[in-house]
C-alpha cells in the first residue's frame, strides 16, 4: 500500500485531494509554484476556499507538508498526482503548457530514483496526450522506460466545486488509464483504501480513458439540456410542469433522475469545455460531432432566451436584480454561470442590473466592474429591483420569508429559474414566475 504521495498543484482540486489522502493515513507532500499556497498549507491553512477543507486539513495537519520543489517531493514519495490546469485552446482542445514543465521536473527526479514510482495525471487532456507528449517528456528527462522503470496513469476526477471532498471520497466509479497492469493495480488499491463508497474501478488504455472522461461530461450536459428543452416546452403548454415530467422520466432506469432538473443552463469550469473538447476531437478525426455541438448551442441560447424574457417582463427604466452569480451554490466560481452571463447580456441591452451572491461577488466584480450595482445583501437587491431573477439556488435565497419579496408600492416580479422559492401567485406584492411551468403564469419571450 502506498504510504507517501505528492500532489502537484494546490488549487481547487489539488488541495482537497492532498487533504483527503492525508485523512486516510497517507503522508502527503503538496507542491505549488505559488509561494502563498505553499505557505498556507505549511501553516495548516487551506490554500483555497472549498467546503470542509479547512476543518479536514486541521485534523490531518501532521501528515501534510508543502514545498515549491517538485523534484524534492517526488524523490521523497511513491506516487505523484499531477493536478495543474489544462486551459482550453481556441480550437476546443486543451493546452499542456502547465503539464509538460511539471513532467520535466518529475522526469529529473525519476532519474535519481531506484524504486518504482507512479505519475498520475488527473488534469483533463485530449486523447493521445498521455501516451504522447506526457509519457515522452517523462521518459526523455528520466532516461527510463515507462511501464518498466516507472508507471504512468491517467485518472481524472469527476467532482463538482463546493463538494470536492465528498465527491472524491464517494465517487460513482474510478477511471484509470494505465501504462501497465502493475501501475493500474497500485492506483486501484489506493482508491479502494481512500474512497468511502468502495466504487467500481474501470481500467483501460490511455486513449479509452481520455475519451471516457470527455464522454461522461458531454453526456451529462446533453441530459441537462434535454431537461431544459422540456422546461421551455412545458412553459408553453397549459397545465405543463417540467418537474412532474422529469420526475416521471427519472423513474425509467434507462434514464435515471440525476441532472434532470429543468432550469436555464449549465456552466462552470468543466461541463462547457469538455463538451467543446469532444466536438473538437470528433472534427479532428473526421467523425460527426452534431450532438455535442447542438447541446452547446442550445445551452448558450438559454442565456439569450432568459435575457429576452426578463427584458419583456421589465418596465422601461426598471432595475433587474440578479440573485446568484456563481454557476452553483457553495462555490465562488462565476465562470459560464447563468446569472453572471445574464448580467452581461442585460447590461449590453441597456438594462440596469443589481446583483448579489453569497460567495461570488469578488470574482464577479473583477469581470463586471462598475457596470453592475453589487448590493450588500439579497434583501437589498430585492428592495432596489422591480424584477428579481433567482439564477442560483442558494439556500440563503430559499430561506428568505415570502413577505420580504414583495414591494411596499408597485408589485415586484420574481423569476424563479429553479422553482425553489416558497412563493406562489397569491404572495402579496409579488408576481411569481416559476420557469418550466404553465404559460398561465409566464410570458413567452420573443
Q: Name the residues annotated as catalytic.
A: 270
Work out the number of other CB atoms within 10 angstroms of the CB of residue 317.
8
C-alpha cell at 193: 483504501
Work out the number of other CB atoms within 10 angstroms of the CB of residue 415.
25
Length of the chain: 446
Question: Does residue 184 contact residue 153 with C-beta atoms inside 8 Å?
Answer: yes
Element (H or E) spanning 274, and its range?
helix 271-285
Question: Does residue 427 contact residue 401 with C-beta atoms inside 8 Å?
Answer: no
The DSSP result for 105-148, as a single string, is HHHHHHHT--S--EEEE-S---TTTIIIIIHHHHHHHH---BTT
**CA nearest to 8, candidates 87, 157, 121:** 121
- State the residue for C-alpha cell 504510504: 3
CA distance 77 to 223: 41
Question: Does residue 358 contact residue 331 with C-beta atoms inside 8 Å?
Answer: no
The DSSP result for 26-54, as a single string, is -EEEEE-S-HHHHHHHHTT--SS--TTHH
DSSP bridge partners of 140:
none
CA distance 324 to 92: 28
The DSSP result for 364-402, as a single string, is HHHHHGGGSEE-SSHHHHHHH-SEEEE-S--HHHHTS-G
Own/partner pairs for 46-49, CB < 8 Å, 24+ apart?
Answer: 46/15, 47/10, 47/11, 47/15, 48/10, 48/11, 48/12, 48/15, 49/332, 49/359
Question: Does residue 208 contact residue 178 with C-beta atoms inside 8 Å?
Answer: no
Question: Does residue 149 contact residue 116 with C-beta atoms inside 8 Å?
Answer: yes
C-alpha cell at 58: 486541521
Amino acid at each position: 500500500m502506498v504510504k507517501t504521495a505528492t500532489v502537484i498543484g494546490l488549487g481547487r482540486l489539488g488541495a482537497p485531494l492532498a487533504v483527503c489522502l492525508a485523512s486516510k493515513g497517507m503522508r502527503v507532500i503538496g507542491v505549488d509554484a505559488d509561494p502563498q499556497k505553499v505557505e498556507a498549507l505549511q501553516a495548516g491553512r487551506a490554500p483555497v476556499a472549498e467546503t470542509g477543507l479547512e476543518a479536514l486539513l486541521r485534523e490531518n495537519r501532521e501528515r501534510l507538508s508543502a514545498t515549491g520543489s517538485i523534484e524534492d517531493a517526488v524523490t521523497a514519495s511513491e506516487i505523484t498526482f499531477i493536478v495543474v490546469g489544462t486551459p482550453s485552446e481556441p480550437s476546443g482542445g486543451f493546452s499542456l503548457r502547465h503539464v509538460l514543465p511539471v513532467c520535466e521536473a518529475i522526469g529529473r527526479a525519476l532519474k535519481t530514483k531506484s524504486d518504482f514510482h507512479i505519475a498520475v495525471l488527473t488534469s483533463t487532456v485530449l486523447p493521445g496526450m498521455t501516451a504522447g507528449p506526457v509519457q515522452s517528456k517523462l521518459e526523455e528527462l528520466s532516461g527510463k522506460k515507462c511501464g518498466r522503470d516507472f508507471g504512468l496513469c491517467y485518472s481524472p476526477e469527476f467532482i463538482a466545486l463546493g463538494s470536492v471532498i465528498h465527491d472524491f471520497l464517494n465517487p460513482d466509479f474510478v477511471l484509470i488509464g494505465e501504462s501497465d497492469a502493475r501501475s493500474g493495480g497500485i492506483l486501484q488499491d489506493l482508491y479502494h483504501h481512500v474512497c468511502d463508497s468502495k466504487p467500481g474501478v474501470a481500467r483501460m488504455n490511455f486513449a479509452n480513458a481520455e475519451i471516457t472522461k470527455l464522454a461522461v461530461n458531454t453526456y451529462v450536459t446533453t441530459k441537462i439540456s434535454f431537461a431544459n428543452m422540456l422546461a421551455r416546452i412545458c412553459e408553453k403548454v397549459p397545465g405543463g410542469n417540467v418537474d412532474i415530467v422529469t420526475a416521471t422520466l427519472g423513474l425509467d432506469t434507462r434514464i435515471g433522475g440525476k441532472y434532470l432538473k429543468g432550469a436555464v443552463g449549465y456552466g462552470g469550469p468543466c461541463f462547457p469545455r469538455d463538451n467543446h473538447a469532444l466536438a473538437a476531437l470528433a472534427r479532428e478525426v473526421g467523425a460527426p460531432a452534431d450532438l455535442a455541438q447542438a447541446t452547446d448551442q442550445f445551452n448558450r441560447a438559454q442565456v439569450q432566451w432568459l435575457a429576452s424574457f426578463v427584458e419583456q417582463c421589465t418596465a422601461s427604466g426598471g432595475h433587474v436584480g440578479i440573485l446568484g452569480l456563481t454557476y452553483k451554490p457553495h462555490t465562488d466560481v462565476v465562470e459560464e454561470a447563468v446569472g453572471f452571463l445574464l448580467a452581461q447580456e442585460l447590461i449590453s441591452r441597456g438594462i440596469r442590473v443589481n446583483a448579489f451572491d453569497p460567495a461570488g461577488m469578488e470574482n464577479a466584480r473583477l469581470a463586471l466592474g462598475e457596470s453592475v450595482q453589487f448590493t450588500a445583501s439579497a434583501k437589498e437587491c430585492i428592495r432596489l429591483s422591480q424584477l428579481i431573477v433567482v439564477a442560483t439556488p442558494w439556500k440563503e435565497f430559499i430561506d428568505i420569508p415570502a413577505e420580504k419579496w414583495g414591494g411596499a408600492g408597485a408589485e415586484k416580479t420574481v423569476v424563479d429559474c429553479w422553482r425553489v422559492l416558497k412563493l406562489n401567485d397569491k404572495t402579496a406584492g409579488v408576481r411569481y414566475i416559476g420557469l418550466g411551468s404553465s404559460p398561465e403564469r409566464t410570458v413567452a419571450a420573443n
